[in-house]
Structure formats: structure tokens, C-alpha cells
Amino acid sequence: MKLTLDGVGHAFLGRAVFENIDLSLAEGEVVALIGPSGCGKTTLLQIAAGLLEPLRGRVRRAYRRHAVVFQEPRLLPWMTARDNIAYGLRAAGSGKRSQAETAERRAAEVGLQAGDLDKYPAELSGGMRQRTAVARAFAVDPDVVFFDEPFTAVDVGLKRTLQNLVIEAAARDHFSALFVTHDLSEAVRVAHRLVVLSNRTRGIVANRVIAGTPGTRRDRMIFETIEGWSRDPVFCELFDNERQHAL
């Protein structure tokens, strides 16, 4: 296993967020982490990525390096897109030529044009900034990538494009990924397996392998999978949460 969480629990100001979380991530596996607002999805991802220490339990990591793609691009405003993409490489001591070649290759993979690389974040559209953030994560050749609701702020068409980029990159580069999302259709599109968190039990209530392979599932199959889950009690919190947001 690339990543294993054993009995992980956490709390803020004395209030338990979740307890006794057991979660694993196999080599080349994309796991979608989903649940209602406030269930601790982002907190669990931060613990898995080492950005936050758990109150209880243990995290075991069996890989060289990882990368994180946040909901906001978090680009350095004084650096060009090229330099932002190469930032991790520079921190690792990679040579300038290698940095430039990798930045250009990864930028092309996420759909950035050559002319975009010399622009600063303020000169890029929101979608281009998020593409840059994804390219920055992929540039360091990570073994594991943590995605924290990375496409929430983009429009539907671009969201699908970015999802496809993740699917293609995971298949090509064989990295593992933990993908936090509140969107069931996104989870079914990009992941091999779905893990559902609950506010009521403060833990995992479902762990489902998704039929088929990311990138090969047709829209009808995705719709029918979600429709079937809508009648499953373990998903009731998630659907109730979506209905409340729709009102």
C-alpha cells in the first residue's frame, strides 16, 4: 500500500470531527473521498498528506514524494506560470534546463499554450490558473497526489476537461490519488473506489469499488450508478445535503 491510515481520529476545540478512520491507497489507485459538508473530508486529506497531525492513530506512507492540488490554485503572484510549475523542481535542486523542459511538457499536458507560460497569475483566467496548479503538482513526478476539491470553482465544461486530464495522467504516470469532492458524478468519473464519510457516525459509512475503469465509463453508466445509490441508506446524508444546497 502507498498510504495507510490506522485508527485515525481528530477533533477541533474538543469536538470530534471523525474517529477510527481506517483507509488505504494502493499503487495506481484513485480513491474518491466524499461526504456531506462538515464531515472532515479536507481535514482527513490534510492528515493523509502530512499537513496536519492527527489527534489519534497512525499514518504510514510508503512512497518517495507527493503533491497537493488545492481548491484554490495558490500560485505565487510574483512568478510566471512557467516558474510556478517549476517551483517544486527548483526546491528539489533540479537544473534550470530540466526545470524549463519539464514545465513546458507538463504545461502542454494540461492544455496550456506556450504563450501562457510567461504570464503572471493575474494575467491568467481562473481555469488557466487551475491548469497551472495541476501542472505544478505533476511536474515533480509524484507517487501520490492529493486533490482537495480542485475543480469546484470552474464551469461545467472546464471541470470535465480537467477531470479527463487527471484520469489520463493517473493512467499514464501510475500515481495513486486521494480525491476529495462533494460531487458524486465527479467521484464516479475519476475514481476506482469511493469512500463515504458521515457526520452522524463521524466515520466511514461506505467503501465501494466502482465498476469499470476511469475514462471508460459512459455518462449513462455514471447516471445509473448514482441513481442506484440514491436508494441506498448509507448515501442518505449526502443526498440530503445536496437537496438542502439546492433550496
CB atoms within 10 A of CB 239: 16
Residue 25's domain is classified under what CATH number? 3.40.50.300
Domain count of the chain? Answer: 2
Same-domain status, 162 and 238: yes
Domain, as residue range, for 79: 72-142
Compute the distance between CA of residue 242 and CA of residue 247 in angstroms, rounded to an integer. Answer: 9
Predicted local confidence at residue 242, as pLDDT: 58
Q: What per-residue string of b and e applies to 195-220 under the rule 16 or more CB within 10 Å gives b? A: bbbbbeebbbbbebebeeebeebeee
Same-domain status, 112 and 223: no
Same-domain status, 191 and 165: yes
Same-domain status, 97 and 195: no
Same-domain status, 194 and 246: yes
Alpha helices in the chain, H assignment, sequence order: 41-48, 81-85, 87-91, 96-109, 126-139, 156-173, 184-190, 219-229, 236-246
C-alpha cell at 44: 482527513
Predicted local confidence at residue 247, as pLDDT: 45
Same-domain status, 226 and 216: yes
Same-domain status, 126 and 238: no
9-18, 90-99, 219-228: which has the minimum mean pLDDT? 90-99
CB 203 within 8 A of CB 19: yes
Same-domain status, 48 and 164: yes
Query: What is residue 234's DSSP assignment?
Result: G
pLDDT tens string 71-88:
999 999 999 999 999 999
Answer with the residue of higher pLDDT: 92 or 223: 223
Same-domain status, 243 and 185: yes
pLDDT band at 130 (very low <50, low <70, confident <90, very high): very high
Same-domain status, 155 and 138: no
Same-domain status, 114 and 164: no
Predicted local confidence at residue 243, as pLDDT: 52
Compute the distance between CA of residue 10 and CA of residue 163 in angstroms, rounded to an integer. Answer: 30
Question: Which of 170, 205, 163 is CA-nearest to residue 188?
Answer: 163
